[in-house]
Structure 1
Amino acid sequence: MDEWSDIDEMVVFSDGSATSADVSESIKGFCREVLRCYGLSEVDQSSPRSVLELNDITFDLVAVTKIGFGELQIPNGSGGWMSTNPNDFNAMREARNKDIGALIKPTIRLMKYWNVASGFLFDSFALESWICGQGFW
């Protein structure tokens, strides 16, 4: 892993009535407790996510609530929720990669490397989504 790599994790809360602030605060509390117990690195508490740095591994934690079969809601940054379905996106990316001779994944890796080297000009997920939507021939 390079210094910009992280492990993205969604922590699913089953209580759909909780606010995004409530579940985000739960994640931050979890991170603070890990640090208290293990005395490791730091927690970046920029809402709606928490970043837990443990030695050379960075965990990017996002609190989510489950609203249906495979469908989740993630904090939108303004105290509300937005829907997402990571399994659908992963399946679409895999199908798209297969359709064009396995060019999507290396293109995504190259563009993410360029994005990091350029100072994070684009949101990583938005960049990946845009690449998957492009035509290749």
Structure 2
Amino acid sequence: MTKDENADVDILVIFKSKDFQPQTYLNQIKSFAADNYPRSNIYPDHPTIAIELEHIKFEIVPAIFVSNEEVRIPAPRTKELKWILSNPSRIQAKLNQKDKDNKGFIKPAIRIIKYWNYLSGKPFTSFDIEKQLVNKIYDCRELKDYFHSASYSLTDIATTEQQKRFVESIKEKRRRLKILEAHNIPEYIEPELSSILPIK
């Protein structure tokens, strides 16, 4: 289970049975959630079932046991396969090391991108965002540079029109910010930043 500062909690539920397609397991999770949390907002958000409890959103992912290190999870809808292999422990270890190697800026950059991704209707899954950004090589100094470098790299995995619009919108925001910074117009910089970043 992982948690980020934007109140999203990802939970992996491992099923013993391996005989069904992803939708069957998603339906089971949804039924369980509806029975146990009848007052909560519960809805499918492929490849998860989302449960909103007060200010916390849980995203429950069904998984099938493969080995002590690997599980199968539902593939994104953009892929032809039904299942994909995942190694949660390895991904978390790589994320921790990448964050350490980059002055602690990787995790905040990922959280910001997930926040903007959420505001944009979640064109990318959290899994795809983390996987892409952990494997990227960075040459940055400040958090905003990490954010833009990381978000630009999503171009490599943007296959749907919604995903492409998401990446282009960030590029356009960055272009406008550069103009404002070049002309030293601080009264417009903060509103522009607040349209992307979770700042108050």
TM-score for the superposition, normalised by structure 1: 0.76
Report which of the two structures shows the higher radius of gyration computed on alpha carbons.
Answer: 2
Q: CA deviation at 1:83?
A: 0.8
**Larger strand fraction of residues:** 1
1:65 matches 2:46: no
Residues of 2 paired with 1:48 and 1:70: CA distance? 20
Number of the residue aligned with 1:83: 85
Residues of 2 paired with 1:113 and 1:56: CA distance? 14
Provide Cα deviations, 1:23-82, integer angstroms capped at 9, x if missing partner: 2221111112113xxx31221134442111223322111111111122010112478211
Residues of 1 paired with 2:125 and 2:71: CA distance? 20
Residues of 1 paired with 2:120 and 2:83: CA distance? 30
Number of the residue aligned with 1:136: 139
Q: CA deviation at 1:120?
A: 4.5
Number of the residue aligned with 1:111: 113
Number of the residue aligned with 1:55: 54
Contact preservation (8 Å) 1:20, 1:75: yes
Residues of 1 paired with 2:121 and 2:19: CA distance? 38
Q: 1:136 is paired with a residue of what secondary structure?
A: coil
Residues of 2 paired with 1:62 and 1:89: CA distance? 16
Gaps in structure 1 of 5+ consecutive residues:
none
Number of the residue aligned with 1:34: 36
Q: CA RMSD, aligned part only?
A: 2.6
Residues of 2 paired with 1:47 and 1:118: CA distance? 16
Residues of 2 paired with 1:120 and 1:47: CA distance? 10
Number of the residue aligned with 1:100: 102
Residues of 2 paired with 1:130 and 1:48: CA distance? 17
**Larger helix fraction of residues:** 2
Contact preservation (8 Å) 2:63, 2:72: yes
Residues of 2 paired with 1:26 and 1:119: CA distance? 25
Distance 1:135 1:45, change over 3 A: closer
Q: 1:45 is paired with a residue of what secondary structure?
A: strand
Distance 1:123 1:51, change over 3 A: closer
Q: CA deviation at 1:90?
A: 0.6
TM-score for the superposition, normalised by structure 2: 0.55
Gaps in structure 2 of 5+ consecutive residues:
1-5, 141-200
Contact preservation (8 Å) 2:73, 2:83: yes
Residues of 2 paired with 1:96 and 1:17: CA distance? 37
Residues of 1 paired with 2:116 and 2:48: CA distance? 24
